[in-house]
């Protein structure tokens, strides 16, 4: 049975210690009452002056809250007559009732096969967030991160060139970042590349999913390290690829085994500089064998160099990409280890042979042309 709305209104309490504005608190309380069906459609609301006195707030606060409810269509204001519970509220109450299962029907989303698969795969991961701990493989030493310096540098850069850092940027990532990455790869990882080959993504896992979607048809084989990286595995599973587990020994990825199991493969996923999770470096013989196998199968190799910035001794282990004369290696880097993972920043170094196709005009997210200059779409060369 409905209680009289007036009695309910006097039950509204404003939390004076809250950071939330009084008008917002009042709006939320009134909205909840309205949506719970506490009022009859067409009921007249008390005058704002009466409400203000009853609840103990200013009249302006009440007017603010009422105005919001009127603009949402839950209340109706009639000039000279007052404010009334709107007819459209009945429909809203019916909708929210059925969403809560009052009529016994709760809609469950019909998931695509891809989402079914990935949600199953992702729930097998350990709970997040991971905590820093000795010997943990997935996290840098967050407590050692120079946060004060980072904050200073961030503040300095946020102050300048606002349209460059806050506007819709280059579709493949901030040009200066792409240049810096290309320079760093050349200097530290022995990879000669052009900034145009670098594509900024939201971390290595986004890179794997993107590469999988671009290159692998459902059911096609991906050679995958066993044991291997869970995040990469999930990203490739999402593309409906068939993962072929390939054992690791003291020299790394057992290319011979992989060839016996599945000579026809589309992609191989490896962590040659620091096998995840065993920590091995892949031998040169195995690297050459893998490159040869990729050539023979007309396949590509994903090199995940997730923590190539860290090493003991004078020289870091070389990258597979640095000896890739056939352009078979797609190199993936991330800032999750050298900076921190919540940044969600990584990159793909595409093979140089993947041409850039010009396309114009192209619309931006608001439907307007984002720039008059030509934009390029990244697609592999065909024919």
Ligand X SMILES: Cc1ncc(COP(=O)(O)O)c(C=O)c1O
Place of tokens 């709970």: 127
Closest to 229 in 3D by CA, of 245, 210, 211: 245
277 burial class (0-12, 13-18, 19+ CB within 10 angstroms)?
A: middle
CB of 342 to ligand X, least distance (A): 9
Closest to 338 in 3D by CA, of 303, 314, 304, 306: 306
C-beta closer to ligand X: residue 27 or 306: 306
| 236 forms part of the interface with ligand X (CB under 6 A) | no
C-beta closer to ligand X: residue 38 or 232: 232
Single residue of 197, 273, 276, 319 touching ligand X by CB under 6 A = 276
Instruction: Give the whole-angstrom CA distance, residue 374 versus residue 117.
Output: 38
Single residue of 297, 341, 349, 350 touching ligand X by CB under 6 A = 341
| 275 forms part of the interface with ligand X (CB under 6 A) | no
CB of 347 to ligand X, least distance (A): 10
**Are 278 and 247 contacting, i.e. CB atoms less than 8 angstroms apart?**
no
CB of 205 to ligand X, least distance (A): 4
Instruction: Give the whole-angstrom CA distance, residue 283 versus residue 340.
Output: 29
Crossing angle, helix 230-238 and helix 113-122, to 10 degrees? 170
Single residue of 23, 205, 319, 350 touching ligand X by CB under 6 A = 205
- Which one of the spans 53-61, 155-163, 197-205, 347-355 is the region binding ligand X (CB under 6 A)? 197-205
Task: Please give the torsion angle defined by the CA atoms of residues 29, 33, 36 and 42, in that order, rounded to the nearest 10 degrees.
Answer: -140
> Within the chain, where are the H helices?
5-9, 22-35, 48-55, 59-72, 88-99, 113-122, 147-158, 162-166, 175-189, 204-215, 230-238, 255-261, 284-297
- Which one of the spans 150-158, 181-189, 202-210, 241-249 is the region binding ligand X (CB under 6 A)? 202-210
Single residue of 173, 231, 252, 318 touching ligand X by CB under 6 A = 231
CB of 276 to ligand X, least distance (A): 4
Instruction: Give the whole-angstrom CA distance, residue 327 versus residue 321.
Output: 8
C-beta closer to ligand X: residue 121 or 138: 138
> Which residues inside 316-335 make contact with ligand X, applying CB under 6 A?
334
| 210 forms part of the interface with ligand X (CB under 6 A) | no
Chain CA centroid to CA 306, Å: 18
The SS3 call for residue 56 is coil
CB of 269 to ligand X, least distance (A): 9
CB of 133 to ligand X, least distance (A): 14
| 83 forms part of the interface with ligand X (CB under 6 A) | no
> Which residues inside 125-144 make contact with ligand X, applying CB under 6 A?
138
Instruction: Using the Cα atoms of residue 168, residue 172, residue 175 and residue 176 in order, give the sign of their dihedral.
Output: positive
- Which one of the spans 86-94, 224-232, 261-269, 314-322 is the region binding ligand X (CB under 6 A)? 224-232
Single residue of 64, 76, 303, 304 touching ligand X by CB under 6 A = 304
CB of 104 to ligand X, least distance (A): 42
Single residue of 191, 229, 258, 330 touching ligand X by CB under 6 A = 229
C-beta closer to ligand X: residue 211 or 259: 211
Instruction: Give the whole-angstrom CA distance, residue 269 versus residue 241.
Output: 12
CB of 312 to ligand X, least distance (A): 19
Binding site for ligand X (CB under 6 A): 138, 203-205, 229, 231-232, 271, 276, 304, 306, 334, 336, 341, 346
């Amino acid at each position: 049975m409905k209680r009289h709305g007036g009695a309910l209104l006097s039950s509204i309490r404003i939390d004076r210690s809250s950071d939330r504005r009084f008008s917002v608190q009042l709006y939320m309380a009134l909205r909840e009452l309205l949506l719970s069906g506490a009022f009859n459609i067409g009921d007249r609301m008390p005058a704002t002056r009466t409400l203000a006195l009853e609840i103990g707030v200013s009249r302006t606060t009440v007017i603010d809250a009422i105005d919001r409810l009127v603009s949402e269509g839950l209340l109706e204001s009639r000039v000279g007559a007052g404010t009334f519970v709107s007819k459209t509220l009945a429909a809203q109450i019916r909708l929210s009732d059925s969403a809560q299962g009052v009529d016994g029907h709760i809609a469950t989303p019909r998931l695509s096969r891809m989402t079914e698969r990935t949600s199953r795969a992702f729930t097998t991961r350990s709970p997040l967030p991971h905590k820093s701990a000795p010997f943990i493989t997935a996290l840098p030493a967050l407590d050692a991160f120079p946060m004060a310096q980072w904050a200073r540098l961030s503040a300095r850069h946020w102050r300048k060139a606002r349209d460059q850092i806050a506007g819709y940027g280059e579709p493949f990532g901030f040009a200066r970042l792409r240049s810096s990455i290309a320079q760093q790869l050349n200097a530290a990882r022995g990879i000669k590349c052009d900034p145009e080959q670098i594509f900024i993504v939201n971390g290595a896992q986004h890179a794997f999913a993107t590469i999988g979607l671009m290159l692998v048809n459902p059911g096609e084989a991906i050679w995958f390290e066993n044991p291997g990286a869970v995040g990469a595995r999930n990203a490739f599973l999402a593309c409906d690829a068939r993962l072929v587990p390939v054992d690791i020994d003291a020299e790394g990825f057992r290319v011979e085994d992989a060839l016996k199991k599945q000579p026809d493969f589309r992609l191989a996923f490896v962590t040659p500089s620091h096998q995840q999770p065993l920590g091995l470096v892949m031998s040169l013989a195995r690297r050459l064998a893998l490159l040869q196998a990729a050539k023979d199968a007309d396949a590509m190799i994903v090199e995940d160099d997730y923590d190539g910035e860290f090493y003991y001794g004078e020289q870091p282990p070389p990258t597979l990409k640095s000896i890739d004369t056939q352009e078979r290696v797609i190199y993936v880097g991330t800032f999750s280890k050298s900076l921190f993972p919540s940044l969600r920043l990584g990159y793909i170094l595409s093979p140089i042979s993947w041409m850039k196709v010009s396309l114009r005009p192209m619309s931006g997210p608001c439907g307007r042309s984002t720039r008059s200059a030509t934009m390029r779409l990244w697609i592999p060369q065909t024919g």
